[in-house]
Amino acid sequence: MKETSKNLHFKPYDQNQPMLLPPSLEELIEANHPVRVVSQVIDQINIDVLLKQYKPGGTSVYHPRMLLKVMVYCYLTNIFSSRKMESGLRENIHLMWLSGMSKPDHNTLARFRSERLKNSLRQIFGQIVELLVEEGLVSIKNIYTDGTKIEANANKYSFVWGRAIKTSKQRISKQLDELWSYTQQVAEEELKDEKPVDFNEIDSQKVRQIIDKIDQALADKPVDKKVKQKLNYAKKNWPDKLDDYEKKEATLGKRNSFSKTDPDATFMRMKEDHMLNGQLKPGYNLQMSTSDQFIINYSLHQNPTDTLTLKPHLKQYEDLYGNMPACICADAGYGSEENYDYLEEQGTDHYVKYSYFHKEQTKKWKEDPFKSANLHYNEQEDNVFCPVGEPMDRIEDRERKTASGYRQIYARYEAKNCEGCSLRSSCHKLKGNRIVEINHNLRNHKNRVRKKLLSNEGKKHRSKRPADVEAVFGNIKHNKNFKRFMLRGIKKVDIETGLLAIAHNLAKKAA
């Protein structure tokens, strides 16, 4: 259409303008663009571990190095869906250049991510970190560790609770006991030779046998209508329900919940709204170790607390790099006796806070003479002195086991005579003498850790930790808006985490 105004001037515009030579994608991409970093780094790594996932023979397949580049760059640019990846390979010049104009479909991309990378991505991640170390961009000796929870790709209402299963089994056990007691009263002669039955431990086979005995014993007896209804219901439903409970308990393992949509996901409290109110949603506990905001190690866990994650997390670090880190800094969620013992056994210098570390530094805590932590302990005499200076003798030791099976020893010390003490009302509320429990091993650990945390080196690590590791979580969850996994199952979710970690490191290198 011809323009009518004579005073308007536009640059030439012709969609059908012919070209003597076709443009090169290479010329259209900036020299310092992150896509070049992705291509350059992945070209340097050894992908033999990935090639082992392929079998010889058959038709030709897309090159795994090309697919790995595409996958990493997509996660770097916040493209997580295989269908959007397929679309990008036809529209995005960076992906077109990276793939050499290859156009794998979304099924190929999804299979590569879920199946080919399953046993190889962690080693690829380790190689990339070692390349960054060689370039002097990062050190893996000093690491900062923390955890965050990311929602699983599962329905938040499809929950199974271990406590609910236990309650249901107890209800069946109680009702079965009532049926058995009723039968013994009505058919005493038929059941006189039966041995006593333990209803605390029941399974489907045991319930079927007991219901059959009850049914036979009451066959020709006048039975209450409600009892007959309950017996019919028990015969039809209880054995199948117990079989179902047994399968669910096998899926639960040591957990207290799981999602029917993704059985590997555990229900965890997610602080997502602006008021930080917790919401129970199926998710995974993601642990990361960083250095200079580069991700050095990552691991996924099904338990919501951080205490039990440190040992398996560091074991994965050792598998990746062949040794343990020289130094680790973490917050109070990891400060347990078991973790302190483990770190000292491994020879790893640590700045790991414990519960109440910050409260101990307050004036109110330090000046409270009644706190058991402030009572003086005489190591030579093995006694504790109460607030008035009277010795408390050791009366016994008690052993406790943690959720992981770790044994803790608590020494108990009892005061001799609190009856006439003027400070008793402020000291304790027990009827008898005051008893204090002390875990000496943990107490010694805390004394050593406290000195390190309050030292200049400790203050330096403590101030750096939030800016180092928590900034990485902020980038992943807010800048990349990755708050929910795309895949289901802990093995596939681990692949997604690895791709996120590689993409984060290469984006930081490019920056």
pLDDT tens, 132-156? 999 999 999 999 999 999 999 999 8
Determine the length of the chain.
511
266-271 and 278-291 beta bridge pairing? antiparallel
Per-residue b/e over 161-188, b at no fewer than 16 CB within 10 Å? ebeebeeebeebbeebbebbebbbebbe
CA angle, 55 as apex, 51 and 60 as ends, to 5°? 85
Closest of 348, 351, 314, 346 to residue 332, by C-alpha: 351
Measure the CA–CA gap between 157 and 440, rounded to whole angstroms: 45
Closest of 316, 169, 176 to residue 246, by C-alpha: 169
477 φ, ψ to 5°?
Answer: -85, -30
pLDDT tens, 288-327? 999 999 999 999 999 999 999 999 999 999 999 999 999 9
Q: Following CA atoms 455, 461, 467, 473 in sequence, which dihedral angle do they give, to the nearest 10 degrees?
A: -130
State residue 411's pLDDT score: 94
pLDDT tens, 25-69? 888 888 889 999 999 999 999 999 999 988 888 888 999 999 999
State residue 276's pLDDT score: 58
pLDDT tens, 150-181? 999 999 899 999 999 999 999 999 998 888 88
CA-CA-CA-CA torsion sign (283, 289, 293, 294): negative
State residue 141's pLDDT score: 92
Average pLDDT, the chain: 90
81 and 11 Cβ atoms separated by less than 8 Å: no
Average pLDDT over residues 409-431: 88
State residue 273's pLDDT score: 61
Measure the CA–CA gap between 62 and 76, rounded to whole angstroms: 21
Measure the CA–CA gap between 211 and 197, rounded to whole angstroms: 12
Give the Å distances, CA to CA, from 429 to 364, 370, 418: 20, 12, 11
State residue 231's pLDDT score: 86
Evaluate if residue 3 carries a pLDDT over 60: no
Q: CA gyration radius for the chain?
A: 32
